[in-house]
């Protein structure tokens, strides 16, 4: 009785499990790389633009609107001591009262303005919620709520903070802007 010819197990693995007499590992690898790279690039301009009609809490990407700062509250907390109306650290956005701020909704729904971009989190009928993604250090952050009627913004609250240490004591600067 004749035994079966030996099987090249490595060729089977190289060829993705197929046993074909003319397969080439180089051809298979090149084809796999081309397919993998093609997945990263949009095929048409419509794909590059993103989903048609995608809205973030009734706001379409690239929507712009302007609101005016009506009040600003600044605080510095050192340990348990809280000071109000302190100067704003240079790392945080600084807007004076009565300044008009122009906002833009980004391609992924983020709220952008002069010197900041805050990620979209949730949209409801009366308000949209924005918050920065968490970082490992939590040394800076921002959150915002945009109040709206339908798809028209009527007001906003922006909160920015910076945390750190001063002489072994935790220090947090917080700036809250109220806009209409």
Which regions of the chain are under pLDDT 50? 9-10, 12-14, 16-17, 19-23, 25-26, 29-32, 34, 36-37, 39-41, 43-50
Q: What is the pLDDT of residue 66?
A: 96
Q: Which tokens belong to 153?
A: 């913004």
Question: Is 51 within the bounds of a domain?
Answer: no
* 25 and 96 together in one domain: no
* 156 and 83 together in one domain: yes
- How many structural domains compose the chain? 2
Q: Which tokens belong to 50?
A: 């993103």
Q: Which residues pair with 116 in a beta bridge?
A: 113
Question: Is 136 within the bounds of a domain?
Answer: yes
Question: Is 121 within the bounds of a domain?
Answer: yes
Question: Is 47 within the bounds of a domain?
Answer: no
* 20 and 69 together in one domain: no
Q: Please give the residue range of the domain that contains residue 149.
A: 64-179
Q: What is the pTM of this model?
A: 0.68
Q: What is the pLDDT of residue 80?
A: 86
* 70 and 124 together in one domain: yes
Q: What is the pLDDT of residue 2?
A: 59
* 33 and 119 together in one domain: no
């Amino acid at each position: 009785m004749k035994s079966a010819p030996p099987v090249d197990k490595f060729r089977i693995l190289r060829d993705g499990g197929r046993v074909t007499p003319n397969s080439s590992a180089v051809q298979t690898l090149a084809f796999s790389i081309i397919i993998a790279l093609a997945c990263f690039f949009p095929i048409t301009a419509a794909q590059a633009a993103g989903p048609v009609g995608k809205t973030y809490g009734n706001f379409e990407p690239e929507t712009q609107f302007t609101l005016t700062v009506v009040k600003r509250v600044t605080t510095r907390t050192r340990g348990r001591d809280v000071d109000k109306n302190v100067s704003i650290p240079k790392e945080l956005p600084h807007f004076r009262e009565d300044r008009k701020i122009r906002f833009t909704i980004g391609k992924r729904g983020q709220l952008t303005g002069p010197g900041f971009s805050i990620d979209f989190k949730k949209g409801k009928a009366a308000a949209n919620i924005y918050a920065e993604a968490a970082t490992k250090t939590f040394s800076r952050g921002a959150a915002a709520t945009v109040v709206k009627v339908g798809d028209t913004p009527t007001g906003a609250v922006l909160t920015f903070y910076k945390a750190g240490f001063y002489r072994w004591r935790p220090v947090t600067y917080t700036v809250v802007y109220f806009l209409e």
